[in-house]
C-alpha cells in the first residue's frame, strides 16, 4: 500500500517527530510512504513526492514541519477537492495520515464524504482544543515555551515592582492560559471559559499589595480579547505600573519536548496500523485515560471540547 502524510493548518512542535516515525514505520511495514507538501494547498497542486529515509534524518529536534503546512480557501470549492483527490489517485495513495486541528479534520471529513479517501487524523494543535482527546501533539512544548517566557518576565516584574500581562494563544480555548496560570502561580488568569470578577480580584490584590506584594502576574487568553482591558484595569484601579507581553507565534516553535516526541511516535504508529488494517476508514486517534482510542471523524467534529473540570476547579478563585 502507498500511504501519505500531510500537515494542515497551524504548525505545532511534534510534527517532525511524527513525520519521521511515519516514514520509518511505513518502510518497516513493507509499504510505500509519500509526503504531501504544503498542506491542503499542496494536495490541490499535486505537491506529492515519494519519501526517503534520508528526508527525515536528523529532524526529531526541529520545530515546525519539513513538509510545510497551509490553510486553503480553495478547498472550500468542490472542484479543488476533486483535483486533490485525483492527485492522490495519480500516486495510487491508499490512505492519508493527517496532522492538524479541527479545521483539518473538517476538511477531510468533507473530502471523505465526496470521494473514497481513507484517512486517520492525529490531533496536532498547541491549542489542545480537539474534542475527545485529552492531549494534542505540540501542547507540551508550547506550555514549556510559555513557562520559560513567564519565568523570565517574573524576574523583571519582581525587580521593578510592576504588573505584567502576558497574552497566550488559543483562539477561543483558554487551555494554554489556564495551565500557565496555575503552573506559574499567576495572581490573575483570564480565559473564555470563566467569568473574571474584577471586584473580587481587586479586593485581594489591593490587600496583598498593602501587605507587601511587590508585583502582579496576569495571564490572559487571546480569545477573551481582554489583554488591553486588564492592563488598563491594573493601572487605573489597582494602581500598579503595567506592561503587556504578547507571546504570539513563539509558542508554536521550539524543540519538541521528549513527551511530544514520544506521543508523536505512538500516535503515528496507531494511525498507520489503522490505515493498513482497514478500508473505508475515516477516523481520528484520541488519547484519553492513558489509552489511544480511534474515533469516527464525525463524532470528533460534532463534539465540543471543554477544559478539564479539575483545571477549572483550581481556578475557582476567579469566579
296 belongs to the catalytic site: no
Q: Starting from the edge strand earliest in sequence, which strands make up the sheet with 282-288, in order? A: 48-50, 32-36, 2-7, 93-100, 119-123, 282-288, 291-296
Q: At what angle do helices 258-277 and 139-160 cross, to 10 degrees?
A: 160
Give yes or no for a contact between 171 and 129, defined as CB atoms under 8 angstroms apart.
yes
Retrieve residue 233's grid coordinates.
Answer: 484595569
Q: Which of 11, 38, 102, 127 is catalytic?
A: 127
Q: What are phi and psi of 38, to 5 degrees?
A: 65, 35
CA 95 to CA 231: how far, in whole Å? 49
CA 181 to CA 64: how far, in whole Å? 26
**What end-to-end distance do the CA atoms of the chain give, in Å?**
54
CA-based radius of gyration for the chain: 22
Residue carrying C-alpha cell 518497516:
28
**What's the Cα-to-Cα distance from 44 to each of 6, 22, 88, 293, rounded to whole Å?**
12, 22, 9, 30
Retrieve residue 235's grid coordinates.
Answer: 493601572
CA 137 to CA 139: how far, in whole Å? 6
Give yes or no for a contact between 254 and 145, defined as CB atoms under 8 angstroms apart.
yes
CA 80 to CA 107: how far, in whole Å? 12
CA 294 to CA 282: how far, in whole Å? 10
SS3 319: coil
**Positions marked active-site:** 127
Amino acid at each position: 500500500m502507498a500511504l501519505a502524510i500531510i500537515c494542515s493548518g497551524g504548525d505545532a512542535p511534534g510534527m517532525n517527530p511524527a513525520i519521521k516515525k511515519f516514514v520509518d514505520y511505513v518502510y518497516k511495514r513493507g509499504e510505500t510512504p509519500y509526503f504531501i507538501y504544503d498542506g491542503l494547498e499542496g494536495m490541490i497542486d499535486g505537491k506529492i513526492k515519494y519519501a526517503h529515509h534520508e528526508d527525515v534524518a536528523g529532524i526529531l529536534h526541529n520545530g515546525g514541519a519539513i513538509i510545510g503546512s497551509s490553510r486553503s480557501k480553495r478547498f472550500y470549492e468542490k472542484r479543488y477537492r476533486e483535483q486533490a483527490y485525483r492527485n492522490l489517485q495519480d500516486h495510487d495513495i491508499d490512505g492519508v495520515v493527517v496532522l492538524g486541528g479541527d479545521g483539518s479534520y473538517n476538511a477531510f471529513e468533507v473530502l471523505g464524504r465526496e470521494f473514497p479517501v481513507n484517512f486517520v487524523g492525529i490531533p496536532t494543535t498547541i491549542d489542545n482544543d480537539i474534542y475527545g482527546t485529552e492531549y494534542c501533539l505540540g501542547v507540551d512544548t508550547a506550555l514549556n515555551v510559555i513557562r520559560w517566557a513567564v519565568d523570565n518576565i517574573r524576574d523583571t516584574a519582581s525587580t521593578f515592582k510592576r504588573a505584567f500581562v502576558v497574552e497566550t494563544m488559543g483562539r477561543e480555548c483558554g487551555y494554554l492560559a489556564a495551565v500557565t496560570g496555575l503552573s506559574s502561580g499567576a495572581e490573575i488568569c483570564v480565559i473564555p471559559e470563566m467569568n473574571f470578577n474584577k471586584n473580587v480580584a481587586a479586593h485581594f490584590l489591593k490587600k496583598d499589595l498593602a501587605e507587601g506584594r511587590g508585583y502582579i502576574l496576569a495571564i490572559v487568553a487571546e480569545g477573551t480579547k481582554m489583554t488591553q482591558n486588564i492592563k488598563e484595569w491594573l493601572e487605573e484601579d489597582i494602581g500598579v505600573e503595567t506592561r503587556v507581553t504578547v507571546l504570539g507565534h513563539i509558542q508554536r516553535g521550539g524543540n519538541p519536548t521528549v513527551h511530544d516526541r514520544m506521543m508523536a511516535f505512538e500516535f503515528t504508529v496507531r494511525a498507520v496500523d489503522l490505515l493498513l488494517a482497514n478500508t473505508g476508514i475515516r477516523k481520528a486517534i484520541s488519547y484519553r485515560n492513558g489509552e489511544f482510542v480511534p474515533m469516527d471523524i464525525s463524532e470528533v467534529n460534532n463534539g465540543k471540547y471543554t477544559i478539564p473540570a479539575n483545571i477549572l476547579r483550581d481556578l475557582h478563585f476567579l469566579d
